[in-house]
Amino acid sequence: MMEGVRRAVAKFLKGGGVYEKAVDAFLRDLQRELIKADVNVKLVLSVTRSIRERALKEEPPPGVTRRDWMIKIVYEELVKLFGGEQEPQVEPPKTPWVILLVGVQGSGKTTTAGKLAYYYVRRGYKVGLVSSDTHRPGAYEQLKRLAEEAGAMFYGEKEGDPADIARRGLEELLQRGAEVVIVDTAGRHGHGEEAKLLEEMRAIASKVRPDEVALVIDASIGQKAMSLAERFHKSTPIGSIIITKMDGTARGGGALTAAAVTGARIKFIGTGETLSELEPFAPRRFVARILGMGDL
């Protein structure tokens, strides 16, 4: 991922010449790579501006070269961009814990619901899945089959009011002893007529009162990521973000910076189609990998 950034870092560290010129050349390379990775253009410009200011102002501590110090600044600013130092908390702070999944059509909500169920089942929780998607044909069957595969309980109805279905599902699964309940919803993007669906999502949220609303985003999403995240955030404030399809060639920059708008944490990334392909997201490791610094 982002091999170009790695090459730019290597060039900057090995290259000679005037420091200021090298910084500018490096920042141009970095801008290109971030834009290619779909990071929002305005964020790219603002992050490279703050890197430049720090790089020209800050004096490195004794024994450290200016160029090494500059890369440290880049690392810190990118970690900030991608969510900060802290590792996300994936363990539910209390039980029962109710997660509502939201997102655009085809972003991978239903598969992610199955993966999350599998993730928590393996960590010893009793997990239940609720299908409230009455729009997409086959959604019910899909989640039912994933629940079986993951070893989770299932509740769903193919027709009816999604908010009532979600409410009934939650009640029944809690009665059956579920500690983590994951509610899958229909895909929507919240523009034009879809605004009605955002309304529906708000209705579901008000009936199930989730402990966490997770926005599921496709890694390949482009510059629209920010405004979409904003739209979702307005109707049900987002607690966390899950980025899917990180196994393709997409670099996930659009999804990563969606976090910047909502202030939500990126919690998991999906790296394949099978249930086990979900891992917690750690910004520091991610940035270290981008910069070619190995796992720090």
Partner 1 sequence: MFGRLREALNRASEHIARGIIDTLAYREIKPEDLQPLLDDILLDLVESDVALEAAEAIVAGVREELVGSRIRRGEPVERVVREALRKALLALLDPGPRPDLAGEARARCGGRPLVILFLGVNGTGKTTTIAKVAYMLRKAGVTPVIAAADTFRAGAQEQLAAHAEKIGVPIVRGRYGADPASVAYDAIKHAQSRGFCAVLVDTAGRMHVDSNLVEELRKIVRVSNPDYKILVVDSLTGNDAVEQARLFNEAVGVDGVIVTKVDADPKGGTLVSVAHAIRKPILYLGTGQGYEDLEPFDPQKTVNRLLE
Binding interface with partner 1 (CB under 8 A): 32, 35-38, 41, 104-108, 110, 114, 135-143, 145-146, 189, 191-194, 218-225, 227-228, 245, 247-251, 253-254, 273
Which secondary structure element, helix H or strand E, spans residue 288, and what is its range?
helix 283-290
Give the nearer residue to partner 1 in terms of CB position, either 64 or 195.
195
Give the nearer residue to partner 1 in terms of CB position, either 41 or 64.
41
Nearest to 119 by CA among 230, 281, 279: 279
Residue indicated by tokens 């669906």: 197
Give the nearer residue to partner 1 in terms of CB position, either 123 or 145.
145
Q: How far is the CB of 249 from partner 1 (least distance, A)?
A: 4
Give the nearer residue to partner 1 in terms of CB position, either 143 or 166.
143
Rg, Å, the chain Cα set: 21
Give the nearer residue to partner 1 in terms of CB position, either 228 or 260.
228
What torsion do the CA atoms of 142, 236, 188, 198 make, to the nearest 10 degrees? 120
Give the nearer residue to partner 1 in terms of CB position, either 34 or 70.
34
Q: How far is the CB of 140 from partner 1 (least distance, A)?
A: 8
Nearest to 198 by CA among 236, 171, 172, 155: 236
177: left (phi over 0), alpha (psi -120 to 50) or beta: left
Q: How far is the CB of 63 from partner 1 (least distance, A)?
A: 39
Spatial separation of the C-alpha atoms in residues 222 and 174, rounded to whole Å: 38
Task: Yes or no: say if 71 and 13 are a contact pair by the CB < 8 Å rule.
Answer: yes
